[in-house]
Structure 1
């Protein structure tokens, strides 16, 4: 979001108008937006993302209530926990582990969920409780169950929901297991990024029900919202992606740290050397760009790390996640990019082939890709679920 857009949203009224104009806040969700403010579910100390500074900043309700209210009513993500609760102090921690998502993302996913009166909804990832409260306002608190893996986060959300008069059932547990005690559900929604959709969610959603989840590959941190429909026999769920997002990952599916020295034990020059004419901007891509998403679908079990540019040079690294294969491209301004790769897989060759594949198919956007989940695993596809491949 641009600085200008941020300045045009001084409060909830302005935010609501902006969300309506952008088409993410549909008319059927407008009453819930008006009745359930995000501010009612935020703690006193928050770390909203400051668009001007390009980072999260600490804001205290007690010390600066005007700034706190301004961020609460802005279309920015707000971190509410760092480092799984081990963080102390006011400065941002190392890794954000719970947050209140951007309102535009929240209402886009709720729109995709397409709830109807009387629907029962299972939410995975309670966070602050705001998303569950919006669902409860629309469907009734008795029709919403939300699961949160972090006990302290679950307790805080439960208190906030009760205080607001929407006593949703908050379950402290592993969301990957769902909550069979409340099944079957008409809708399932996850507010955490996934690398694999738990089949338990398909089993707990009725035939014809809908599952809305942020999903992606380990290639990058970005996700895309998958809108899946459970088959008539209840054995699978399939559907297309609706657009890019980025969420904190389901804790059970976080990627462990990749240690560079475990891959490159000597000099990068020890790898097989070649060159590439692919431009730097096409490899690095936009943060939420479809190219990186598509390449990740074609290069499984691989992490791509784009380093900072210094003195006109930028290395991009790829690490195999099932072996010690690696690849590196060094981009230098005004020079041909050099490539090195080593290990059982030729990761650069796979990446280059994936770029060609995407180009040859007309540079498809997120909405042309889809995901199918079955008892045997998950598969992705382009345009036709019958033409799919495993991920």
Structure 2
């Protein structure tokens, strides 16, 4: 199939899946060549590899063009600097940049609720594909996009130019916004955030919209649409759908360092087991109770132990399942992590376990609070 046919097929698929809902964005998907933003190739997960391995797919390979128009995210950078053309064979490092799956891109653009004449700030240019869609919808002069990685930004600038777009592209920390082009009617972030930066609120017009993915170090994240108010606060709802993005680099968790002595504390029967965190929504609620906690799994003394550690405070908890199916917990440090998580999850369940779409988010005085009906 030709690129034009593949774009048409992609637009039909995204419309059928409910991601594309309005004609302006449908037209943009039909006309913006995603493959132009993937000329450097992408990395493909090596099926069955453990640890995870990635192999490059370059434009001279027969499957490249078809993959460019699949509704899937495509990794474009690994370990902060490595691009597909740098590798022959496989690489075992972690991805650091990608072209987000088109279905998520257009769902977010639809949820942004732009109108003609709106000025938009995009946090995270990436390949530039979503930037191009914004330019097609609004015009170059109304789009500002910020990318922290200079090499990534340079490749996006080239691809956008090839497609005839010249938005305001800025290399810098997108979490600080870009006040030179403020105020904005809409702000959209294509990275995960643990907090809402004050600068983004200050650079958005009253009644303007922030569309952000709120995430934590237990890696449950959700899309939030917030309205900025004249008093400098912002509030809104989570939109649901289990949205997942790489965390913004300043919001990445700290190294765990040396683990504490996990045997130096009393143990008790746990009211909830670590398996409760396997559920996306329950894990999101747990993050609200322990926002600084990270989770790892250890095999010790012939059993699997689930460790939660807050590096900043030094608080920790370790859980394991006994032969009878009950769970036990041991906790240490200045706070009791699992006590807080158990209490928060139990309260949420007692309130009927409302879905994340019913959660309210409020940002005031640099503090972010998230609540649910009944709380």
TM-score by length of 2: 0.89
- Alignment of 1:20 onto 2:20: no
1:45 counterpart = 2:36: no
Does residue 1:353 correspond to 2:349, yes or no?
Answer: no
The aligned runs of 1:1-391 (5 Å cut-off) are 11-28=6-23, 29-49=25-45, 57-64=54-61, 66-85=62-81, 88-90=86-88, 91-218=90-217, 220-231=218-229, 233=230, 235-243=232-240, 244-259=242-257, 261=258, 263-265=259-261, 268-276=262-270, 278-279=272-273, 281-283=275-277, 285-286=278-279, 289-305=280-296, 307=297, 313-331=303-321, 334-383=324-373
Aligned counterparts of 1:342 and 1:210: Cα–Cα separation in 2: 42
Q: Per the alignment, in what secondary structure is the counterpart of residue 239 of structure 2? A: strand
Q: Secondary structure at the match of 2:216?
A: coil
Contact 1:45 1:58 in 2 (8 A): no
Q: Is the 8 A contact 1:48 1:71 kept in 2?
A: no
Structure 2 unpaired stretches of 5+: none
Query: CA separation in 1, counterparts of 2:304 and 2:103?
Result: 33
**After alignment, is 361-370 or 48-57 more displaced?**
48-57
1:248 & 1:369 partners in 2: Cα distance? 22
Structure 2 CA distance for partners of 1:374 and 1:71, relative to 1, 3 Å: same
SS of corresponding position for 1:351: helix
Give 3-state SS (helix, strand or coil) of 2:329's partner.
strand
**CA distance in 1: counterparts of 2:221 and 2:29, whole angstroms:** 25
CA shift for structure 1 position 224: 0.7
Paired with 1:33 and 1:150, the residues of 2 have a C-alpha distance of 26
Q: Deviations over 1:55-107 (max 9, x none)?
A: 6642433441x321222111211111112215752434522111111112111
